[in-house]
Amino acid sequence: MLEIKGGDIQYVNADGSRALDSSDYILNATGRVPNIANIGLEEARVDFSPKGIKTSDQGKTNVPGVWACGDVTGRRMLAHAATREGIVAVNNMFGRKDRIRYHALPAVIYTHPEVASVGRTEEELKSQGIAYKKAVVPMAVAGRFLIENEGASGFVKVLTGARHGEILGVHAIGDASSEFIIAAAAMVETEMCVSHASDVIFPHPTVSEALREAILKVA
């Protein structure tokens, strides 16, 4: 994209030619980049790239006494991730050992239907050579989802380690998935196994019961 003026969008085609389109509404979905220019990183010799300031899971940079958190790290550009990064950094500054587990950070796309996810994906597990099991159940196994979303569809996928059954990832598509993904995040954060997660009592009737059914299926 080159420029937006009113309802006109100027952009470059794959062949290098310029083009112009017009629309009543324009959605900017180009993403974000860390704002790290001209803040003295070079002078302080802080290690960074166009993707962000490089930090450890404790919030440390390569320079002692310099810490970073939030979007400037370019790691997980989410408000709740930035909050946790800040807490972790401050804890470590004052001698309390702490770290952020990026794989346990939940993410939500607030579309209709919603998309919620935490942990590793199948693609990541395959690329890392990790043996896993999975279960996929329709959101409609939860009666409340069926009642409140007539005619809608969706699913919950649970990924576990093939040997020990630890919950490695949970991915869901369907409205209200943002409300129960925190339960899955807690399971990933604590490396809970499905044998223990199966004992967790989910309230009825809630959409979260779809997660419970997926856990029982993969157990």
Q: Is 196 an active-site residue?
A: no
Q: Which two tokens stand for residue 43?
A: 């002078």
Set 112, 164, 196, 204: catalytic member:
204
Q: What is the pLDDT of residue 141?
A: 94
Q: Are residues 178 and 94 in the same domain?
A: no
Q: Are residues 201 and 175 in the same domain?
A: yes
Q: Are residues 207 and 117 in the same domain?
A: yes
Q: How many domains does the chain have?
A: 3
Sign of CA dihedral 208, 211, 215, 216: positive
Domain extent, residue 109, equals 103-218
In a domain, 48, yes or no: yes
Q: What is the pLDDT of residue 96?
A: 96
Q: Are residues 90 and 114 in the same domain?
A: no
In a domain, 194, yes or no: yes
- CA dist., res. 102 & res. 86, Å (int): 13
In a domain, 136, yes or no: yes
- What's the pTM? 0.80
In a domain, 115, yes or no: yes
In a domain, 36, yes or no: no
Q: Are residues 153 and 193 in the same domain?
A: yes
- CA dist., res. 102 & res. 105, Å (int): 5
Q: Which two tokens stand for residue 6?
A: 């009113």
Contacts of 177-180 spanning 24+ positions with Cβ under 8 A? 177/108, 177/113, 177/114, 177/115, 177/116, 177/139, 177/207, 178/108, 178/110, 178/114, 178/116, 179/207, 179/208, 180/116, 180/206, 180/207, 180/208, 180/211
Q: What is the pLDDT of residue 113?
A: 93
Closest Cα to residue 213, out of 190, 166, 180?
Answer: 180
Q: What is the pLDDT of residue 85?
A: 96
Q: Are residues 50 and 62 in the same domain?
A: yes
Q: What is the pLDDT of residue 152?
A: 86
Q: Which two tokens stand for residue 121?
A: 């994906």
Q: Are residues 126 and 198 in the same domain?
A: yes
In a domain, 141, yes or no: yes
Strands (E), the chain: 3-5, 8-12, 18-22, 48-49, 52-53, 107-109, 115-119, 132-138, 155-161, 167-173
In a domain, 35, yes or no: no
Q: Are residues 147 and 199 in the same domain?
A: yes
Residue 212 has φ and ψ, to the nearest 5°, of -60, -45
Q: What is the pLDDT of residue 150?
A: 85
Q: Are residues 143 and 198 in the same domain?
A: yes
- CA dist., res. 87 & res. 69, Å (int): 9
Helix, strand, or coil (residue 145): helix
Q: Are residues 51 and 123 in the same domain?
A: no
In a domain, 209, yes or no: yes
Q: pLDDT 10s per residue in the chain (219 long)?
A: 788 888 888 888 888 899 999 988 887 777 788 989 889 999 999 999 989 999 999 999 999 999 999 999 999 899 999 999 999 999 999 999 999 999 999 999 999 999 999 999 999 999 999 999 999 999 999 999 999 988 888 999 999 999 999 999 999 999 999 999 999 999 999 999 999 999 999 999 999 999 999 999 998
Q: Are residues 17 and 75 in the same domain?
A: no
Q: Are residues 115 and 213 in the same domain?
A: yes
CATH code of residue 142: 3.30.390.30
